[in-house]
Structure 1
Amino acid sequence: MTEGFMGPPWQDDWTTAAEADREALPDHARDLVLTARAELVTAPDPYFRGIDTDRDLPSGMSVEPVQSTRPGGLHVCYFDHGRGWLRYEFTRRETDPQIVIDQCFWQ
């Protein structure tokens, strides 16, 4: 049944607001965002489910669900030791699975 299922790298799509926020960041912060995005699109499971599944992320990055009661819903990928984050949702489907990033923030 999963024979046709696509794996990483996943497609990613940015909402207009998230893309505008990313483009407004200074260059070094934009590089951090692109590093975080690269980790998400290449992860076997972009929700990093399970114990210590995000231990292989670079230093200063972590992932957690927005609501602990919805482990398959919105997630936040923190980067730069919590100074920034990407809020996203992963849509798993056989054709064209993708990560939709709806918020990009860095301070």
Structure 2
Amino acid sequence: MSEEFTGPPWAVDYTQEAEKYRISLSEDVRESLREAGFGLLTARHPYRAEHVEPARSTAPRGPHVAYFDSNRGWPLFTFLPRVAEPQIVVEEIFWQ
């Protein structure tokens, strides 16, 4: 029996620094970040979700950013489209 590529929702993992920063944000900002994350989790492919663009135009398959809170913040994430357990890895979160 061959394994098939699973679809959404995807697993999400935060680096330790991103998780610490996420926890330090106020509750309303975390809620806005959760809403943006929900869009990534349910998209057929996270790199094609709404409000998402490559972090660098020269690396369209590399890290991406997903804007939230009226573009005041964004997580920098990478999508690992593995057959078993595809995953979104949030490497950094920025909010101003």
With normalisation by structure 2, the TM-score equals: 0.92
Structure 1: gaps spanning 5 or more residues: 55-61
2:28 equivalent in structure 1: 28
Moved over 3 A (4+): none
What is the RMSD computed on CA atoms of the aligned residues?
1.4
Say how many residue pairs are matched.
Answer: 95
**Counterpart position of 2:78:** 89
More helix by share: 2
1:101 corresponds, among 76, 90, 96, to 90
Q: 1:18: how far off?
A: 0.4
Deviation digits for residues 32-84 of structure 1, max 9, x if unmatched?
11111111111101001xxxx63xxxxxxx11101112111100001112101
List alignment gaps of at least 5 residues for structure 2: none
What percent identity do the matched residue pairs reach? 45
Query: What are the within-5 Å matches in structure 2 for residues 49-68 of structure 1?
Result: 54=50, 62-68=51-57
